[in-house]
């Protein structure tokens, strides 16, 4: 007898979930929360946090938490990154405002010199008065940022007796947390996680690839997954896994926010082991579906889902930059010739000056003659050092010489060579390029680069980096 099959038989992982599927799993299935969902309760603003707690309360009978998730939650809850999250965001924005004031003041002062307005004149004093008013306005904005951070910060986070999030989760999770593995089983699963990581079997192989974690910590995602499989096998029910981790070892590469799909391997493995169906969503989609299914529209803010989506996007961008493995390299200074000049041409002129003026003193003098906006030798040296940062020149004592790459650039005007040197040698360039390739918007790069602790770039330096990338055509 020939067995008849349908289009999705054996290919269930390709079926896109619909509202009915979510309604069913929220009513009768298992809802498993990842560690980041719990930690994000501290990162959300006060309004979104309040609504997320309502959402979790509405589905408390369906919730189950892997023991690995709870372990990771306690390990990360007191990190300075989490405790100071809202204050750090406010401080970063305040620093940008301060930089804007300083930049405006420098710009006005430079303009006063250029048009020969005398210091102390009525015209100069009027401009400075306007700057002071702007500075006062910025101080008001800074106060508003601090007030918002105060509202969003979870009170008493350092004390579990006063932390309202802990109180809520303690009540919610009673009887709903899985048991830990015994020592032998734990060792066995860490070994299996390592094997799967080497073979790039999802989930969790990205943590082994990064090389930043030992095997036990890198095995975390796989341990969560295995505990989920064990629980679903026992309960014989479909499962909705909620996570903000959007690495490629959880989600299909072609997924988009509109239709984000789990890796087919995960859907197939869960079906093979348990006979049940896997659903995966980010917290914002969980919120949207729970509000719909349980009729929470009047009890929640209509803007919370969109706000949570925006938060998830920003955090995904931040996580992408934290995953960067590039080494810290060189920083750049501004080029002479203005922001709108042809950077390839300006660097070519600078390299030619080095080629015919090997003595540093002579080279700097010729540099200032060529670029008359640069009038001081230290400034000329600083800008000439861009050639060294890019690998086009080296300095030996009082001599400066072109490297082989520098000679090639002068000889062939090889723009691709310069672009590649920039990406390889300049601090933050490869990180920014990788993020852009992953779809991170340009508007989100500056703050994230400035916040990256390994890069140690200020907002001003991040602006300079992105301007160089734009002029060299690598901001794509």
- pLDDT tens digits, residue range 328-345? 578 888 898 766 789 999
Indicate whether 217 pLDDT > 60.
yes
Q: Note whether residue 180 is domain-resident.
A: yes
H-run or E-run covering 24? helix 19-28
CA 28 to chain centre: 35
Predicted confidence at residue 327, as pLDDT, reads: 52
Percent of the chain residues topping a pLDDT of 90: 47
Whether residue 466 contacts residue 475, with contact meaning beta carbons closer than 8 Å, is answered with yes
Integer CA distances (angstroms), 178 to 55, 219, 224, 281, 422, in order: 21, 17, 10, 21, 50
Decide if 433 contacts 329 (C-beta within 8 A).
no
Contacts of residue 42, Cβ cutoff 8 Å, sequence gap at least 6 = 77, 82, 83, 85, 154, 157, 165
Average pLDDT value for residue range 120-146: 82
* Residue 241 φ then ψ, to 5°: -95, 125
Domain that holds residue 450: 343-471
Helix, coil or strand: residue 456: coil
Q: Are residues 114 and 70 in the same domain?
A: no
Are 76 and 91 part of one and the same domain? no
352-387 per-position pLDDT tens digit: 999 999 999 999 999 999 999 899 999 999 999 999
pLDDT higher than 70, residue 232: yes
The answer to whether 355 and 410 are in contact (CB under 8 A) is yes
- Residue 172 pLDDT > 90, yes or no? yes
Residues 126-137 have a mean pLDDT of 80
Residues 189 and 288 in one domain: yes
pLDDT digits 0-9 by tens, 257-295: 557 789 999 999 999 999 999 999 999 999 999 999 999
CA 20 to chain centre: 33
Same domain (yes/no): 96, 42: no
Clarify whether residues 243 and 366 are in a common domain: no
pLDDT value of position 398: 86
Tell me whether residue 334 is in a domain. Answer: no
As to burial, measured by CB atoms within 10 angstroms (0-12 exposed, 13-18 middle, 19+ buried), residue 313 is: middle
Residue 399, phi then psi, degrees to nearest 5: -110, 145
Mapping DSSP to helix (H, G, I), strand (E, B) and coil, where does residue 469 land? helix
Looking at the fold, whether 368 and 455 belong to one and the same domain comes out as: yes
Tally of structural domains, the chain? 3
Q: Extract the tokens encoding 320.
A: 């992408």
* pLDDT value at residue 439: 65
Alpha-carbon distance of 47 to 273, in angstroms, equals 40
């Amino acid at each position: 007898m020939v067995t008849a099959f349908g289009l999705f038989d054996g290919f269930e992982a390709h079926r896109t979930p619909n509202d009915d599927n979510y309604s069913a799993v929220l009513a009768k299935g298992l809802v498993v929360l990842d560690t980041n969902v719990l930690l994000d309760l501290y990162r959300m603003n006060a309004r979104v946090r309040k609504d997320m707690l309502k959402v979790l309360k509405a589905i408390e009978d369906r919730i189950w938490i892997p023991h690995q998730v709870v372990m990771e939650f306690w390990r990360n809850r007191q990190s300075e990154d989490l405790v100071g999250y809202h204050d750090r965001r406010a401080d970063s924005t305040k620093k940008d405002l301060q930089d804007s004031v300083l930049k405006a003041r420098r710009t006005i002062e430079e303009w006063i010199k250029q048009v020969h307005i005398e210091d102390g004149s009525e015209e100069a004093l009027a401009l400075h008065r306007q700057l002071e008013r702007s500075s006062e306005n910025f101080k008001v904005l800074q106060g508003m940022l601090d007030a918002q951070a105060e509202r969003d910060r979870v009170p008493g986070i350092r004390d579990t007796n006063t932390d309202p999030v802990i109180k809520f989760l303690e009540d919610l999770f009673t009887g709903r947390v899985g048991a830990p593995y015994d020592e032998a089983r734990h060792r066995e699963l860490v070994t299996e996680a390592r094997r799967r990581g080497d073979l790039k079997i999802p989930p969790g192989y990205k943590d082994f690839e990064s090389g930043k974690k030992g095997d036990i910590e890198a095995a975390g995602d796989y341990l969560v997954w295995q505990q989920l499989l064990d629980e679903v096998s026992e309960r014989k029910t479909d499962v909705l896994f909620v996570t903000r981790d959007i690495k490629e070892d959880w989600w299909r590469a072609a997924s988009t926010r509109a239709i984000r799909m789990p890796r087919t391997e995960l859907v197939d493995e869960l079906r093979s082991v348990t006979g049940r169906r896997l659903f995966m969503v980010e917290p914002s989609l969980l919120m949207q579906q729970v509000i719909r299914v349980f009729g929470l529209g009047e009890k929640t803010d209509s803007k919370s889902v969109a706000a949570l989506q925006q938060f998830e996007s920003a955090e995904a961008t931040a996580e992408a930059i934290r995953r960067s493995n590039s080494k810290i390299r060189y920083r750049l200074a501004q080029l002479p010739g203005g922001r709108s000049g042809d950077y390839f041409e300006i660097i070519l002129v600078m390299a030619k000056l080095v080629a015919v003026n090997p003595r540093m003193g002579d080279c700097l003098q010729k540099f200032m003659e060529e670029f008359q906006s640069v009038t001081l030798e230290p400034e000329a040296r600083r800008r000439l050092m861009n050639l060294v940062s890019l690998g086009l020149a080296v300095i030996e004592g009082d001599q400066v010489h072109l490297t082989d790459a520098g000679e090639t650039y002068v000889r062939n005007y090889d723009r691709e060579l310069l672009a590649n040197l920039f990406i390889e040698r300049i601090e933050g360039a490869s990180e920014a390029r990788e993020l852009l390739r992953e779809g991170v918007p340009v508007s989100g790069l500056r703050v994230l680069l400035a916040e990256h602790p390994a890069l140690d770039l200020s907002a001003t330096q991040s602006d300079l980096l992105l301007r160089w990338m734009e002029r060299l055509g690598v901001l794509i």
